[in-house]
Amino acid sequence: MPRVLVIEDAPATQRLIEMTLMLEGWDVLVATTGEAGLEVAESDSPDLVVLDIALPNMDGWQVLKTLRDSPATASIPVIVVTAHDTAESKSRADIATAEAFLGKPFDVEALRRLAKSQLLQMKAS
C-alpha cells in the first residue's frame, strides 16, 4: 500500500487531501508544519509527498529544498499545492524539482490523477 505524506497547515484543505487519498486505499501521513513534515519524511519514508507552499515558519520551498538535499528523501516525488497559482510559482516549482504543481482551489480528481501518476512512475523506476 502506498504511503503518502501530506504537509498542509489549513485544516479543511488537509482533510480534503487526506480523504481523497485515503479513498484510494493509501496510507496517509499528515504534518502541519514544514519541520514536522521533514521529520516524518525522514522517519517513515513516504512514497509521495503532497506539499503546501504557504506553511508557517519554514515554507514549502524550504521544505522541498531540504527534501532534495537529503539522500534519504531526495528521490521521493513531490506534488506542490499552493494558492499562489502563478507562472512564477510554477517556474519556481520546476526549478526546485517538484514533480507536479497543483493550484488551489484544486479539483480532487486532478489531485488523484497526479498522485496515481507519480506513484506509478515511482514503481516503474
Q: What is the CATH number of the domain that holds 107?
A: 3.40.50.2300
Q: Which structural domain range is residue 108 located in?
A: 3-124
Q: What pLDDT score was predicted for residue 74?
A: 95
Does residue 63 contact residue 38 with C-beta atoms inside 8 Å? yes
As a whole number of angstroms, the distance between CA 123 and CA 94 comes to: 22
Residue range 53-102, pLDDT digits in tens = 889 999 998 999 999 999 999 999 999 888 755 555 555 554 557 888 78
Specify the 3-state DSSP secondary structure of 8: coil
Q: What pLDDT score was predicted for residue 82?
A: 80
Summarize the confidence of residues 1-10 as an average pLDDT.
96
Distances (CA, A) of 53 to 1, 59, 95, 101: 26, 6, 14, 11
Provide the domain count of the chain: 1
Whether the model clears a pTM of 0.95, i.e. scores above it, the answer is no
As a whole number of angstroms, the distance between CA 62 and CA 51 comes to: 11
Q: What pLDDT score was predicted for residue 106?
A: 81
pLDDT band with cut points at 50, 70 and 90 for residue 110: very high
